[in-house]
Structure 1
Amino acid sequence: MRYALGVEYDGGDFLGWQRLAKPGVHDSSTVQSVLENALSFVANSPIETVCAGRTDSGVHGQCQVVHFDSDAVRSPRAWSLGATSQLPASVCVRWCQPVADDFHARFSARARRYRYRILNRGVRPALGRQYLSWERLPLDAAAMHRAGQHLLGEHDFSAFRTVHCQAPHARRNLHHLNVSRHGEEVIVEVQANAFLHHMVRNIVGSLLLVGRGEQPESWLAELLAGRDRTLAGPTAPADGLVFVSPLYPAEWKLPAEVTL
């Protein structure tokens, strides 16, 4: 039987999503490792998982979608509650449901969503600091939003990929980019068919230069056309980034929060 899970995690305790040790080796350094250990405990046999999109060290997950196969006879409730009981406090399985054998957490997804939160005030945060980036200089969120619209559509995003990115090409389709201010917070929300390694954080790093008035709004279009990572802004810190969720066609009958 194949199952899909919705997994929530605080990435601050981990070296990213991807397992570093071999399957079956007890390891608590990555989200995938602790999740597979917990699921294997419930199944009483080794479990390997596939996720919708790997996250880096320090990046959080609101609803990461995972699939796995198991012959163990367990109810969805037993999988979700049983696994959560074996997970550290920074990880939980929000839901579990059986899916068709051809469902794939990564390849069946049609889009991914991220949110980046910036506390924009003169003093660094004390409360909630693990989920916020901080910028002390005033930001023009409206200018950041207008600049971000230059990136919409299908383009080569080489200017916003890390040199360590292993993707075979840099073409991605950015569906949506919104920058808004909510009191002292500036929030960047993005959706694309897929993302390159560090793509969101590199876009935010460039938008911050526009928000501080150091670059014009048209600069994002120039960076995109130039395809040169060395000319773009710095990579924004991981703390403020949350992988909100992947999105799937309705045919898979997954919860509404991950359905197009």
Structure 2
Amino acid sequence: MRIALGLQYDGSPYSGWQSQVQQDTVQDRLEKAINAFVGGQGSSPPIRVITAGRTDTGVHALGQVVHFDVDVDRDNWSWVRGVNAFLPESIVVNWAQLVSDEFNARYCAHERTYIYALQAGPCRSPMMRDHAGYLMLPADRWFDIDAMKLAAECLIGEHDFTSFRSSECQSKTPIKTLYSIEIFSQAPWLYFRIKGNAFLHHMVRNLVGSFLQIGVRKQSAKWMSEVLEAKDRSIAAPTFSAAGLYLVQISYPDEFRIPNPLLENAWLPPFLTVDLHKDTKK
């Protein structure tokens, strides 16, 4: 049978999602916990999981989805309780669900949503060190929100995002589709909510870095389209901090009945529970 799990994790202690030699990763911790729960560490092949999105080192998840195949019959609550018993406190299974063999956490996903949370001002909050990005701004200055929103328009739709792609990216193609980019300002917080069909390695963080160049008035709004059209990573802004990036939701066709992570026991950081549609600074 095939089981899907919904996960939350604090990515700051880990070297990203994907298993790596001599690295501590979320995938390794989860697979170890599942195998311990079902007793699969003996002669049976170990259980491996397929994920919807491979988050980078230090990136967090509020709505990660994985699936795996297993011949052990347990109810949904048993999977949640049992796997969590073997997980560190930084990783939690929020829900479990029996799914059809046609379901694939990665390939059936049609939309992925990320939020980037940034604190800005004269002083950094030490409490947010690993959980939000930071940019120093004088107390009497704020971002040019209108310019960033204007710059976002050229990114919507299907494009070649080579300019925002890491040199280590393993994607077969740089062509991805962005459905929406929303920018919200509630000083001292700035939020980017980005939805797309899929993302390249470091793509969201590279976009955020470029938006901030426009927001602090070092570049004009039209610069974003010039960077996109150049297909040259070297002219875009540097990759911004991983600390503020959250994989919020993976969307699937209704037929699979995958739960909404924000309605299924998922904890939200306090700074992400604000009304993102209410700007306090334009």
User: In the aligned structure 2, how far is the partner of 1:168 from the partner of 1:3?
Assistant: 28
C-alpha deviation, 1:258, in angstroms: 8.4
User: In the aligned structure 1, how far is the partner of 2:170 from the partner of 2:259?
Assistant: 31
Map 1:48-127 → 2, pairs under 5 A: 48-127=48-127
Provide the alpha-carbon RMSD of the alignment: 1.5
Tell me if 1:38 matches 2:42. Answer: no
Specify which of 150, 153, 160 is matched with residue 149 of structure 1: 153
Identity of aligned residues (%): 40
CA contact (8 A) 2:249 2:260 kept: no
User: In the aligned structure 1, how far is the partner of 2:100 from the partner of 2:145?
Assistant: 43
Residue 200 of structure 2: aligned partner: 196
CA contact (8 A) 1:142 1:179 kept: no
Structure 1 portions without partners, runs of 5+: 22-26
**TM-score (norm. length: structure 2):** 0.87
Residue 254 of structure 1: aligned partner: 258
User: In the aligned structure 2, how far is the partner of 1:116 from the partner of 1:6?
Assistant: 20
Tell me if 1:166 matches 2:177. Answer: no
User: In the aligned structure 1, how far is the partner of 2:194 from the partner of 2:37?
Assistant: 36
Residue 183 of structure 2: aligned partner: 179
CA contact (8 A) 1:247 1:258 kept: no
User: In the aligned structure 2, how far is the partner of 1:82 from the partner of 1:256?
Assistant: 21
User: In the aligned structure 1, how far is the partner of 2:145 from the partner of 2:244?
Assistant: 16
User: AA paired with 1:230?
Assistant: S
> In the comparison of the two structures, how many residue pairs are matched?
254
3-state DSSP class of the match of 1:130?
coil
C-alpha deviation, 1:128, in angstroms: 2.6
Structure 1 pair 178/115, CA: closer, same or farther in 2 (3 Å)? same
Structure 1 pair 163/40, CA: closer, same or farther in 2 (3 Å)? same
Q: Deviations over 1:11-60 (max 9, x none)?
A: 00100000124xxxxx8710000001111111111211000010010000
C-alpha deviation, 1:241, in angstroms: 0.4
CA contact (8 A) 1:120 1:139 kept: no
CA contact (8 A) 1:84 1:93 kept: yes
CA contact (8 A) 1:246 1:258 kept: no
Q: Deviations over 1:193-232 (max 9, x none)?
A: 0000000000001001000000000111111111111000
User: AA paired with 1:152?
Assistant: I
Tell me if 1:205 matches 2:196. Answer: no
User: AA paired with 2:26?
Assistant: V
Structure 2 portions without partners, runs of 5+: 41-45, 264-282
Residue 24 of structure 1: aligned partner: none
User: AA paired with 1:224?
Assistant: L
User: In the aligned structure 1, how far is the partner of 2:133 from the partner of 2:238?
Assistant: 14
Q: Deviations over 1:78-106 (max 9, x none)?
A: 11111111111100000000000110000
C-alpha deviation, 1:141, in angstroms: 2.5
